[in-house]
A and B are shown apart, each in its own frame.
Chain A
Amino acid sequence: MSNQSDVHLKVTTRALTARLPVLANERIYTNYSSLMWTFLAFNAATWAYLIGGELPFIGNTKIGLAGFFAGAVIGLVPVTLASGMPSLRYGVDTIEAAKAPFGTRGIVLPLVASVATLVGWSCVVIALTAQGAANASQAIENSKGAPGLLLIAVGVASVLATWLVVVRGPWLFERLANYISPGHLVLAGVMIAILLVKFPLHTILNTNVPANQALTPDRQKAFVLAFEFGFAGSLSWWPGIGGLSRLVKRQNQLVGPAVVGFGILSGFILCGIGSFAAVMASTYDPTVWMETLGGHAIGTILIAFLLIANIPSIVILVYMAGVQIQQVRVLARLPWRVAVAIILILPWPLRSTRRGC
């Protein structure tokens, strides 16, 4: 009996971390909230606040946020149905499911694009995490020089933490998301409270970037630009939604969590806070405006949580890239921990080369 359960566990583990179809009894997302929390954790990294910080530059903060939200929600539904449903139905990754329309040779193009996007974004979030820690350190010490050692240490720690979580399989990030995501909402509540204490509500809602920095003075055009931004951003989630949908048990619990997690909680609430805070603090960088608006003590706590909360986003990106690179036969034969290490380490020499230039 024991050996049979060992075999079953091993096979399940292999299926979850490889290209093999995941069967119904192996799916880890069995309820609405756990998937919603994972989608939120995935999309609530520093980039949510950065995107929010860019929205006011459309010209009108309110219209930018409303247009972005409408575009994001409308875009998420087709991408969830197109990418998520086949993956959920057959328990396979997005790339696997996309072979039906693209063919076994044509799939190379989306595969390369998807892996490049996932790995590229994981590098960006790692860099944002390290840079955020350096910004916080500078603010605390009132120094102007960039703490290079801290930057490297936080970057390396992020990579190691990501590797440690990803090699354990998707169970761990599902559990982590159940704690991190509610924390994001608490952080959002604290930020709203800080904004309301410091500024009157009508000032917050009606402050825009200076006219010479706005993309357009035309409100209608601003709305269309924001809508496109949200809609296009939603469509870009196709590898992410498909990669997680193969772990979902019920079709009824896919569209709602995706829209609520990606579109409402992250795309509206977090981006909204990022928008208004960026305008009030005159900087798009959340690791700067959190310190500026919250003060040293609260700001540092908020930044620390935000930086730690980046890890689940990196983990999910790397997990999906790890599954997708197994389309290459040589890489499919590597142990999971080695495949993950390659994804995390491979971009480093590229970054070093770039910096050397």
Chain B
Amino acid sequence: MRSVDVTAIDPDEPTQTKPAGTSFGSGHMDGQPALTDHHVLDTMNVELYSRLAALESDEYRNSECYVLGDRVVASSVFWVGVGIVVAIITLVLWL
């Protein structure tokens, strides 16, 4: 998971807290209940680190998101083959 640039989000600041209801990052949506201080995940950094840790977990590493799907290669080859066949048929029939 080295492609996530942790430093670009908040390179200098230590983990900090913000009062509930303040706008940070994004994702505030209409009609959602305001959250109290101890329920709000403090900053984007805290959230990011917890997510990076989750991505490193065994549970995630064994999930369908992470493990290479058994049909990925086959379907890729199939669709490239379809394109090549269409190209050949066009060349043979109409050119």
Contacts and interface: CB of A to CB of B under 8 A. Distances in A.
Interface of A: 3-4, 6-7, 9-11, 13-21, 23-24, 27, 60, 62-63, 66-67, 69-74, 76-77, 80-81, 85-86, 88-92, 96-100, 104, 107, 167-169, 219-220, 223, 227, 249-256, 259, 263, 322, 326-327, 329, 332-337, 339
Contact of B25 (A60, A63, A81, A333): A333
A219 B95 contact: yes
B7 interface: yes
Given A19-B9, A23-B51, A77-B76, A7 B4 contact: no
A333 B24 contact: yes
Interface in B47-95: 47-48, 51-52, 54-55, 60, 63-72, 75-76, 79-80, 82-84, 86-87, 89-91, 94-95
B5 A337 contact: no
Contact of A18 (B25, B32, B79, B94): B25
B79 A259 contact: yes
A14 B40 contact: no
Most chain A C-beta atoms within 10 Å of own C-beta, residue among B65, B71, B80, B82: B65
A98 B86 CA distance: 32
Contact of A254 (B9, B28, B72, B80): B72
26 contacts: A6-B39, A7-B41, A11-B41, A13-B32, A14-B27, A16-B27, A20-B47, A23-B55, A24-B65, A76-B79, A80-B76, A90-B55, A91-B65, A92-B3, A96-B3, A96-B4, A99-B3, A100-B2, A167-B29, A227-B87, A251-B69, A252-B72, A333-B23, A333-B25, A335-B28, A337-B28
B28 A24 contact: no
Interface residues of B, number: 56
B64 A251 contact: yes
A15 to B, nearest CB: 7
Given A6-B39, A7-B35, A17 B27 contact: yes
Contacts of A72: 83
A324 B41 CA distance: 22
Given A92-B4, A332-B26, A20 B39 contact: no
A263 B78 CA distance: 14
B48 A20 contact: yes
Interface in B33-47: 33, 35-36, 39-41, 44, 47
